Amino acid sequence: MTIDEFKTSVEKLEDRARAELEAASSLTSLSEIHHKYLSRGRGELTSLEKLIPSFPADQRKAAGESVNGAKNQLWLWETARREKLQSTESTERHALDLTMPARRTWRGAKHPVTLVIEEIEGIFRELGFTIATGPEAETDWYNFGALNFPSDHPAMDMHDTLYLGDGTLLRTHTSPVQVRTLQRYEPPIRILAPGNVYRRDFFDASHAPVFAQIEGMAVDDDITFSDLEATLAHFADRFFGATRTRFRPSYFPFTEPSAEMDVECQICHGTGCPTCKGTGWSEILGCGLMHPAVLETAGLDSERYSGWAFGMGPGRIAMQRYGIPDIRLLYDSDVRVLQQFER
């Protein structure tokens, strides 16, 4: 082979390799072309390079320059093609495919206690009740004095109540809303007062130091205990479905007579479990006819008007509704719990 024939072979190889490099459609095929022409062992350009020593000494330089020039050119073309293929594959990999279903992102859900409060409000709105609110930081007069608490009542002790100083405290119930409403409006009155209340309670399976409470009140002429029983029985049937209820005598300073209302435990259905302490019943509220002293303190004539009131904890009711065995699950901020109540 003459030097001219050698140079022609190198040029033809260069043209052929360039065409194949430009036609490469993937990084895999590009690697195959690299090995075909530039592999040190079996590459076609390497095979031509091995012929250089066979030329006369004065022609070897020209032969070497021809091979090295082709080799450098092939490296440049391969690098350019590789960068383009990498850029294309990256774009395709990250391209937005509008036909793909979107990833479902959990956006949150209403707390189960909030769901219960809203449902209870809906039931009592149907009965003509309106929603009333009041301050969470109350005076001890509205929280205790106006509700007929004796000055030595245990609930007023420091170990039960969170005092703020200067005769103020964090309300221990939403009953002060009742007094404020009676002072502001003339009967007939039917209100529902939801809100947070605060106690010095230990955080255990059935108690929390801050929790939601809902109080209801009805004041008018000739209000009786039978009206109270019928209203609360209707509420229980609407909320839990047809269920058993019972009223037990109790004592509250602001009602007389007083009672506690139980519903059949919705977790064990009356067979007994740790949540109902083996009784088969779950207390959901306290209630009673309003004490005449409370009406008089609010400026109403207790000889003309009568009324009843009740207070319930929607947290405990939520436990019954959703079969939650421990109230702490409601306050641990575990999204795995909340996800179960998404609507």
- Tokens of residue 264, six digits: 């059949």
Strands (E), the chain: 130-131, 137-139, 163-165, 168-170, 189-198, 210-221, 245-252, 255-264, 281-290, 305-312
Q: Give every CB contact of residue 241 below 8 A, 6+ residues apart in sequence.
A: none
How many angstroms separate the CA atoms of 276 and 264, rounded? Answer: 9
Label residue 205 by pLDDT band (50, 70, 90).
Answer: low
Least confident of 10-24, 39-53, 162-176: 39-53
Label residue 119 by pLDDT band (50, 70, 90).
Answer: very high
Tell me what pLDDT residue 247 has: 94
Tell me what pLDDT residue 44 has: 82
Tell me what pLDDT residue 71 has: 85
* Percentage of the chain exceeding pLDDT 70: 92
- The verdict on pTM exceeding 0.85 is no
Tell me what pLDDT residue 90 has: 66
State the CATH architecture for 112-341.
2-Layer Sandwich (3.30)
Bigger pLDDT: 158 vs 79? 79
Q: Give every CB contact of residue 87 below 8 A, 6+ residues apart in sequence.
A: none
How many angstroms separate the CA atoms of 298 and 256, rounded? Answer: 17
Look at phi and psi of residue 43 and say left if phi exceeds 0, alpha if psi is from -120 to 50, else beta: beta
* Percentage of the chain exceeding pLDDT 90: 38
Instruction: Report DSSP state, residue 270.
Output: T
| Most confident among 5-14, 80-89, 221-230, 320-329 (mean pLDDT) | 221-230
Q: What integer best gives the mean pLDDT of the chain?
A: 86
Label residue 321 by pLDDT band (50, 70, 90).
Answer: confident
Pairing of strands 245-252, 210-221: unpaired
Range 43-65 average pLDDT: 84
Residue 188: is the preceding peptide bond cis (ω within 30°)?
Answer: yes
Tell me what pLDDT residue 106 has: 67
Residue intervals of the chain classified under CATH 3.30.930.10 are: 112-341
Label residue 206 by pLDDT band (50, 70, 90).
Answer: low
pLDDT at 210 > cutoff 90: no
CA dihedral (206, 213, 140, 310) positive or negative: negative
Residues in the chain: 343
pLDDT at 185 > cutoff 70: yes
How many angstroms separate the CA atoms of 263 and 234, rounded? Answer: 12
Torsion angle in degrees (nearest 10) through CA of 209, 212, 218, 219: 50
Nearest residue to 327 via CA among 199, 210, 194, 166: 210
Instruction: Please give the single-letter amino acid code of residue 297.
Output: T
